[in-house]
A and B are shown apart, each in its own frame.
Chain A
Amino acid sequence: MNREATRRAVLGAALGAGIAGGLLTPASSFLERFAPLSGSVWGAAKTGRQSTVDSPHGPAEVRYDDEGVPQVSADSETALYFATGYVQATDRLFQMELQRRLFRGELSAVVGDATVDSDTFHRKMMFAEAAEATAEHVRETAVGPLLEAYADGVNAAIENEPLPVEFRLLEHEPEPWTVADSMVVEKVIAWGLTGSFRTLRKALVADTFTPEMADQLYPDRFAERSRIVRDHHNPGTFGAGLGIDVDSTAGETGRTVGKETVDWLSRFEPDPKLGSNSWLVSPELSGGDTPVLSNDPHLQLQAPPVWYEMHLDGPDHRVRGVSFPGVPFVVIGENNGGAWGFTNVGADVIDFYTYERLEDGDAYRYGGETREFETETQVIEVDGGSNKEIEVKRSVHGPVVEEAEQEVGVAWTGHAATETSLAIYELTHSGGVEDARRAAAKFEAPTQNLVYGSQNGGRLFQVVGRLPVRRVDGDVVGGNRVFDGSAREGEWGRFEPFERPAAWDDDRPPADRGELSWVPFAENPRVEDPDYLATANQLTVDDDQLAYYLGVEFDPGYRGERIYELLDEQIEAGETLDLSVLREVGRDTRDGRAETLVDGFTDGRVDGLVEAARGSEDNNLVDAADTLESWASEPAAYRMDPDSEGALLFDRWMEQYREELFTEGFEEADLGDEYYPSDGAIEQLPPDSPWFGARPRAGVMRAALRAALDEIDREGHEVYGDISHTGQIGHPLELGFLAYPDHPRGGSSETVQNFDHSAPRGGSWEMQVDLDGEYLAILPGGNSGRYFSKHYDSQIRRWARGEYRSLSREIAGDLTVEFVGREK
């Protein structure tokens, strides 16, 4: 072969190898996704959408306003919700896909083996089965056809619209949406707000240390702060005389659940610090003709936001507000009749049962009988890995989770076939307090504080959600214990998981129902027409005004106390509580933790951090004391503002104080930080608490302050905004470009303007409504989940600055999508 031929052969081989490599190796996937002009990922940059869409449910129109909020109008409800499904899927499809896969335990099929444990947990907890049971039940109600139309709309968008960038990055295509998927989203929310393994953790800590130490870590009540329902609301006693008075002396009956099981479960527990604010002010106090209402749910902050804003105009109602992507109906918002919002109660609607195992663990004793655990083998599909086979198990109480050969039965109200979606739908159609109350009765899970204000001036505070009554040996007991499932203790009457509880549809007067296994809805805490009322997840009502057991996991009450303090001040000064005042209340950043931790109790019981630092010979600590003292004084006054040096120091000190208190003891007991208590519990630890160990309280405070100063110095931080900013809000795929840009934002986990940068968690839909005036709201991000849309992050800067948008009550914007076709 001559030289020329050799050269040609070499070059030809190089060319061929290059092409073959591009087609046949993993490089192919990269070239398909990222090649310029043809790469599937870049195809997502085309933000246009179909202007005409065939609808089997009849005509509808969609306009988008300047903030990317869809304005959907139609002359029939099925057409309206078909279009709603279409726009939600167009704007938020990946988020919807991720949520349903997470709770169905199907994430690993898309993202690989990193989520096998998560899939295992979610399958064992049988959320999908609960959603299927709920879907089957609501199909027969007024919302059945609307949920079907919504699912059709989602599927039309999957077919017609370009897939968002996340699908292209993962090379994944969604399967059709179903009514049960919408119910999965309902379960996601319910679990996020009422799922808790605190009972198991407290029992384990009590076993590992002492019951007293566990009580200090997880107190059932936080003292000295405002309840939601106050004396001037004249609440009376809820549930009195119904035979459901709780026996607070009853001891625990079940066994402590083993550490391996509690550790594993705690990994998947919802964030226990999720909270919210709301308030309701009468027309007399607001100086107008209608009530003023605020709602600010503090949920996980992520890109895109957990809420989706929409404005719907149907044949007989108009409603504007937010929904969870995957849910057709506006959950929080305003219609022509009134406005409403929700905060979490902290009620205990989950119980745990241990069993006497029989026959090598396949069966258990149940009263005088032997029952077999119902088991099903499921296969978790794993992308790029080996599939995993698991056993999904249940008892009479509900799903059974098993780790280290110990079964724990879980009963949770969310495992029932609930009518919450019907309640939400009816709220969007409500025309006043009576309508709202009727709708609220169907809101079965999760337990929530509903605040409602109507156009005609009526107001309502109502705890919604079903509250179980537990009995041991005939005595009513609280749910803050592990029950002996084999002895049939602590059962909720004839509660059958994944079924519709017959007791929920029992219309007879409570006195005719026999032994009550549920608190009658009429006995749930409520206040009619309060002058003003505020909720912030604190204890709903004082124990002497409540006959039955509600729960033990209430917020320490810093926010609740502060909101009432600000409202009380205005009222005492004779000022009106109009929107201009209330928006300032919503932007308050004073941190109640700091008042006692930094300054000590005013009665001198305990010295604070400032005194502790001054007691040191270390000049750095004395300087830090000066900084904190200045921050504690007006005008800063414990405010967690972005430009504050004192707020930065307090934030970092609080983190280090937690570590100083618990790291050593917990490490020795092999317990992780999921066992750490709330800051409210930390604040009220008595000076002689064993948790301080051999050191005095002031010594622990000083050690934490040194560590905080070292950290601040090492990281080069100067003010609070250096760490408290929107750049902390990321995307579930953890790709940097999908996160939000950095904008400093004030607030902490315990301030009214809420932002916990470390979670991150905070104001997820900050709304204030004057029914006779402005409708203000803001989202932490943007309304579109499409990265290439200009509305992906269009509100994040204003959210960081504490601004609000003024929302129109008119259907506005250019016609974007026209749905054509006849209703079948």
Chain B
Amino acid sequence: MTESKKDTAGLSAAVGAGLSLVREESRPHWVGLALAVVVGLVVSTVHWLGLVLGGALVGLVAASLPRALLSGLGFGLVVLLVWWLTLVLSDGVGKVTATGELAGLGVVMALVAPVLGSLARGVF
């Protein structure tokens, strides 16, 4: 086995161990989940891929794929909550709601993209 292959195997093992830890141990799980939400939200403010990333991260710390999907949906709801709060602060809730289908499109994106991302739990 070459050095680089050894390093990759080592990293893979470490990630695997880390994932097992956040999936199985309560405290690491919640810390991991919180971090995943924060990272997902921050990236979501600059690009829509943040919604997928957030869904993927909260999915990866979930104990199972069904739980990951639920976590992805939950992340989507958090995104909607944060979006609503930012609109409250800028006094734009009513105006955004009045856009009707366009706002609806945003809601659908907030829920679908993170669930899509949470499929990553089934891969890793």
Contact of A15 with B119 at beta-carbon distance under 8 Å, contacts A36-B80, A737-B100 already known: yes
Decide if A508 is an interface residue (CB 8 Å cutoff): no
Inter-chain contacts of A30 with B (CB < 8 A) = 105, 109
In the complex, the answer to whether A38 meets B96 with C-beta atoms within 8 Å is no
In the complex, the answer to whether B52 meets A38 with C-beta atoms within 8 Å is no
Q: Which of B95, B105, B122 contacts A788 (CB 8 A)?
A: B95
Interface of A is mostly: helix
B76-106 vs A, CB cutoff 8 Å, 1 = contact: the mask equals 0001101100110011100110111010011
- A6-14, A418-426, A662-670, A683-691 - the one binding chain B: A6-14
In the complex, the answer to whether A35 meets B109 with C-beta atoms within 8 Å is yes
Q: Which of B44, B92, B102, B105 contacts A37 (CB 8 A)?
A: B44
Decide if B45 is an interface residue (CB 8 Å cutoff): yes
Inter-chain contacts of A31 with B (CB < 8 A) = 48, 109, 113
In the complex, the answer to whether B109 meets A34 with C-beta atoms within 8 Å is yes
B residues 31-77 in Cβ contact with A at 8 Å: 41, 44-52, 56, 65
Contact of A36 with B79 at beta-carbon distance under 8 Å, contacts A31-B48, A45-B95 already known: yes
Inter-chain contacts of B107 with A (CB < 8 A) = 36
In the complex, the answer to whether A35 meets B123 with C-beta atoms within 8 Å is no
Inter-chain contacts of B49 with A (CB < 8 A) = 19, 22-23
Decide if A774 is an interface residue (CB 8 Å cutoff): no
Residue on A nearest B108 in the bound complex, by CB: A34
Decide if A548 is an interface residue (CB 8 Å cutoff): no
Decide if A18 is an interface residue (CB 8 Å cutoff): yes
Q: Which of B50, B52, B91 contacts A47 (CB 8 A)?
A: B91
In the complex, the answer to whether A38 meets B50 with C-beta atoms within 8 Å is yes
Decide if A3 is an interface residue (CB 8 Å cutoff): no
Inter-chain contacts of A15 with B (CB < 8 A) = 56, 116-117, 119-120, 123
The CA of A7 and the CA of B120, in the complex, are separated in Å by 11
In the complex, the answer to whether A737 meets B46 with C-beta atoms within 8 Å is no
A698-729 vs B, CB cutoff 8 Å, 1 = contact: the mask equals 00000000000000000000000000000000
Decide if A790 is an interface residue (CB 8 Å cutoff): yes
In the complex, the answer to whether A37 meets B116 with C-beta atoms within 8 Å is no
The CA of A19 and the CA of B52, in the complex, are separated in Å by 8
The CA of A667 and the CA of B52, in the complex, are separated in Å by 59
Inter-chain contacts of B86 with A (CB < 8 A) = 37
Inter-chain contacts of A11 with B (CB < 8 A) = 65, 119-120, 122-123
Inter-chain contacts of B92 with A (CB < 8 A) = 42, 45, 47, 788
In the complex, the answer to whether A39 meets B119 with C-beta atoms within 8 Å is no
The CA of A766 and the CA of B90, in the complex, are separated in Å by 32
Inter-chain contacts of B56 with A (CB < 8 A) = 15
Decide if A787 is an interface residue (CB 8 Å cutoff): yes
Residue from the set A12, A19, A42 with the largest chain B CB neighbour count within 10 Å: A42
Chain B interface size band reads 35 or more
In the complex, the answer to whether A38 meets B46 with C-beta atoms within 8 Å is yes
Inter-chain contacts of A788 with B (CB < 8 A) = 90, 92, 95
The CA of A788 and the CA of B122, in the complex, are separated in Å by 42
The CA of A261 and the CA of B50, in the complex, are separated in Å by 56
In the complex, the answer to whether B123 meets A8 with C-beta atoms within 8 Å is yes
Residue on A nearest B100 in the bound complex, by CB: A737
Inter-chain contacts of A574 with B (CB < 8 A) = none
Inter-chain contacts of B102 with A (CB < 8 A) = 34, 41, 737
Chain A interface size band reads 20 to 34
Q: Tell me how far the C-beta of A569 lies from the nearest C-beta in chain B, rounded to whole angstroms.
A: 46
Q: Which of B50, B52, B96 contacts A42 (CB 8 A)?
A: B96
Decide if B110 is an interface residue (CB 8 Å cutoff): yes
Inter-chain contacts of A136 with B (CB < 8 A) = none
Inter-chain contacts of A7 with B (CB < 8 A) = 122
Contact of A34 with B123 at beta-carbon distance under 8 Å, contacts A15-B116, A787-B95, A790-B91 already known: no
The CA of A464 and the CA of B22, in the complex, are separated in Å by 81
Inter-chain contacts of B123 with A (CB < 8 A) = 8, 11-12, 15
Residue on A nearest B52 in the bound complex, by CB: A19
The CA of A39 and the CA of B51, in the complex, are separated in Å by 12
Q: Tell me how far the C-beta of B120 lies from the nearest C-beta in chain A, rounded to whole angstroms.
A: 6
A23-36 vs B, CB cutoff 8 Å, 1 = contact: the mask equals 10000001110111
In the complex, the answer to whether A34 meets B95 with C-beta atoms within 8 Å is no
Inter-chain contacts of A605 with B (CB < 8 A) = none
The CA of A470 and the CA of B90, in the complex, are separated in Å by 60
Q: Which of B87, B90, B98, B105 contacts A737 (CB 8 A)?
A: B98
In the complex, the answer to whether A45 meets B105 with C-beta atoms within 8 Å is no
A residues 460-504 in Cβ contact with B at 8 Å: none
In the complex, the answer to whether A39 meets B106 with C-beta atoms within 8 Å is yes
Inter-chain contacts of B110 with A (CB < 8 A) = 35-36
The CA of A36 and the CA of B44, in the complex, are separated in Å by 8
Decide if A232 is an interface residue (CB 8 Å cutoff): no
Decide if A46 is an interface residue (CB 8 Å cutoff): yes
In the complex, the answer to whether B48 meets A47 with C-beta atoms within 8 Å is no
CB within 8 Å of A: which residues of B?
41, 44-52, 56, 65, 79-80, 82-83, 86-87, 90-92, 95-96, 98-100, 102, 105-107, 109-110, 113, 116-117, 119-120, 122-123
Known contacts A15-B120, A37-B82, then 16 further A-B pairs from the complex at CB < 8 Å, ordered by chain A residue: A11-B119, A11-B123, A12-B123, A15-B116, A18-B119, A19-B49, A22-B48, A22-B113, A32-B48, A35-B48, A35-B51, A37-B79, A38-B48, A42-B87, A788-B95, A790-B91
CB within 8 Å of B: which residues of A?
7-8, 11-12, 14-15, 18-19, 22-23, 30-32, 34-39, 41-42, 45-47, 736-737, 787-788, 790
The 9 closest A-B pairs by CB, nearest first: A35-B48, A45-B92, A11-B122, A36-B83, A31-B48, A18-B116, A12-B123, A34-B105, A737-B98
5 contacts across the A-B interface (CB closer than 8 A) = A8-B123, A30-B105, A37-B86, A42-B87, A737-B100
